[in-house]
Amino acid sequence: MRTRISSKDGRRRTARTGHLLHNATKKIVALAVQRRTAIVLENIEGIRSLYQKGNGQGSKYRGRMNGWSFGEAQRQIEFKARWAGLPVVCLSRRETRGSSLACPRCGERHQSDKRLKRKLWCGNCRIVMDRDQVAAVNLARRGRVRFARSRPPILLEAQGGAGEAMKGNPTPTVIPGVDAPKLTQQTKS
């Protein structure tokens, strides 16, 4: 009886987190469509190793941090962005290194201060920002630079001249929409 109840609670928790994850990723993609921007993601492989036993965190904290599906969020964002025709830029570990320590205004790299905890203080700009927001701004900037490098140049055909066939830098894969009435089979009467 106890295992049946606990499995029922597990299914509820899974359904609840799946619903929240779906709504969050849907809002992210809708905002990107509205602003007509690309979505930048960082490589999250090995993120669970940050919250292992022996890292100085409590078991409840580790359970909360490891309890959400990192890869599923990224998978849903990539799928929904492709469905909407948005480009997704995935940055490597090397490209994301130090993103929460560089000032987004002047670009100066700072050391984290234990007194400020999750804040970043820039002496040049005289601003204090949350390190997560700093990282998001810096990742967006790095993704924009990488996206600009990877886009194919404007073809001469679009300008009316002769064009050259290019290999590489393919256009993003767009998943076509489904027209439900056309999928049903007609029955003979």
pLDDT for residue 94: 85
| Percentage of the chain lying above the pLDDT 90 cut | 15
pLDDT for residue 33: 93
* Backbone angle region of 46, left / alpha / beta, with phi > 0 → left and psi within -120 to 50 → alpha: left
- The residue ranges of every structural domain in the chain are 1-91, 97-152
Per DSSP, the residues of 99-160 read TTTB-TTT--B-PPPTTTTTEEEETTTTEEEEHHHHHHHHHHHHHHHHHHHHSPPPPHHHHT
Q: Which residue has the higher pLDDT, 31 or 181?
A: 31
Q: Which residue has the higher pLDDT, 51 or 180?
A: 51
pLDDT for residue 83: 92
Per the listing, tokens 């998943």 go with 175
Q: Give the tokens for residue 82.
A: 């492709």
Q: Which residue has the higher pLDDT, 116 or 187?
A: 116
Residue type, 83: W
Give the chain's end-to-end CA distance (angstroms, integer): 53
Q: Which residue has the higher pLDDT, 139 or 188?
A: 139
Q: Answer yes or no: is pLDDT of 24 > 90.
A: yes
Asked which of 27-31, 72-76, 105-109 is least confident by mean pLDDT, the reply is 105-109
pLDDT for residue 20: 92
Q: Average pLDDT over the chain, rounded to whole?
A: 77
